[in-house]
Amino acid sequence: MAIVLVGIVLSLSVGLVADRAQRDGMLYWSAGLVMHTAAYVFFNQRAQIGDFASIILANVCLSCSLAAFSEGIYEFYRHPPPRSLIWAPVLVVLLALVVLMDSLAGRIVVSSAIYFSQALLAVSLVWQKRGQTAGRGKYFLASGLAIVMTMVALRAIGAMRGAGAAMTSLTESNPIQTMTLAAALVCLILLSLGFVLMSKERADELNRVLASRDELTGLANRRRLNETLASEWARATRSDQPLALVLLDIDLFKNYNDAYGHQAGDECLKRVAQCLESGAQRAGDLAARYGGEEFLLILPDTDALAARGVAEAVRRAVEAMDLPHKVAASGRVTVSIGVAALTGACYPDAESLLRAADEALYRAKNDGRNQVQLAEQALQHARADEAVTLKLVQLVWRGDYESGNKVIDEQHRKLFSQSNKLLGAVLGGQPTQEVAALVDQFIADVLAHFQAEEAIITAAGFADAPDHALQHRVLVDKALALAERYRAGALSVGELFEFLAYDVVARHILAADRAYFSCLASRADAPRRDREDAARQSAQAPRNPAA
Q: Say how far apart CA 158 and CA 108 lie, in whole Å.
A: 9
533 within a domain of the structure (yes/no): no
| pLDDT on residue 165 | 55
Helix 222-239 to helix 175-212 angle (10° resolution) is 80
Give the count of domains, the chain: 3
31 within a domain of the structure (yes/no): yes
Closest C-alpha among 355, 363, 370, 384 to residue 311: 370
Strand partners for 471: none
CATH value at residue 254: 3.30.70.270
Q: Which residue, 181, 212, 243, sits at the end of a domain? A: 212
Do the beta carbons of residue 372 and residue 357 sit within 8 Å?
no
**Based on the domain organization, do 342 and 228 belong to the same domain?**
yes
**Residue 211: Cβ-neighbour burial (10 angstroms; 0-12, 13-18, 19+):** exposed
293's CB contacts (< 8 A; 6+ apart) are 249, 250, 253, 269, 272
333 within a domain of the structure (yes/no): yes
**Based on the domain organization, do 357 and 251 belong to the same domain?**
yes
**Based on the domain organization, do 266 and 195 belong to the same domain?**
no
Count of other CB atoms within 10 angstroms of residue 499 = 18
**Based on the domain organization, do 148 and 228 belong to the same domain?**
no
**Based on the domain organization, do 338 and 400 belong to the same domain?**
no
DSSP notation for 41-90: HHHHTHHHH-HHHHHHHHHHHHHHHHHHHHHHHHHHTT----HHHHHHHH
**Based on the domain organization, do 349 and 277 belong to the same domain?**
yes
539 within a domain of the structure (yes/no): no
pLDDT in tens, the chain (547 residues): 677 888 788 888 887 777 766 778 888 989 988 998 898 888 888 888 888 999 999 999 999 999 999 999 999 988 899 999 999 999 999 999 999 988 888 888 999 999 999 999 999 999 888 887 878 888 989 998 998 898 888 888 888 877 655 555 544 555 666 676 777 788 888 888 888 888 888 887 777 767 788 889 999 999 899 999 999 999 999 888 899 999 999 999 999 999 999 999 999 999 999 999 988 888 889 999 999 999 999 999 998 888 888 999 999 999 999 999 998 888 999 999 999 998 766 788 999 999 999 999 999 999 889 999 998 765 555 444 544 444 444 667 777 788 889 999 899 888 888 888 877 777 666 777 777 888 888 888 989 999 999 999 999 889 899 999 999 998 988 888 888 877 776 666 667 767 877 788 778 888 888 888 888 876 655 454 444 444 445 545 554 433 3
| pLDDT on residue 219 | 93
Do the beta carbons of residue 251 and residue 335 sit within 8 Å?
yes
532 within a domain of the structure (yes/no): no
Q: Amino acid identity, residue 153?
A: A
CATH value at residue 429: 1.20.120.50
Q: Which residue, 212, 247, 264, sits at the end of a domain? A: 212
Strand order in the sheet with 286-291: 286-291, 294-300, 243-250, 335-342, 372-374
529 within a domain of the structure (yes/no): no
What per-residue string of b and e applies to 47-74 under the rule 16 or more CB within 10 Å gives b? eeeeeeebbbbbbbbbbbbbbbbbbbbb
| pLDDT on residue 537 | 53
**Based on the domain organization, do 19 and 121 belong to the same domain?**
yes
Count of other CB atoms within 10 angstroms of residue 130 = 11
| pLDDT on residue 530 | 47
| pLDDT on residue 272 | 96
| pLDDT on residue 186 | 84
Count of other CB atoms within 10 angstroms of residue 190 = 20
| pLDDT on residue 415 | 86
Q: Say how far apart CA 268 and CA 253 lie, in whole Å.
A: 9
**Based on the domain organization, do 191 and 262 belong to the same domain?**
no
Count of other CB atoms within 10 angstroms of residue 196 = 20
**Based on the domain organization, do 285 and 400 belong to the same domain?**
no
Q: Which residue range forms the structural domain that includes residue 181?
A: 2-212
537 within a domain of the structure (yes/no): no
Provide Rg for the chain, Cα atoms. 40
**Based on the domain organization, do 183 and 271 belong to the same domain?**
no
In three-state secondary structure terms, 289 is: strand
121 within a domain of the structure (yes/no): yes
**Based on the domain organization, do 344 and 231 belong to the same domain?**
yes
**Based on the domain organization, do 248 and 310 belong to the same domain?**
yes
DSSP notation for 296-342: EEEEET--HHHHHHHHHHHHHHHHHH--B-TTSTTSB--EEEEEEEE
Q: Amino acid identity, residue 231?
A: S
| pLDDT on residue 528 | 46
| pLDDT on residue 378 | 57
Q: Amino acid identity, residue 37?
A: T
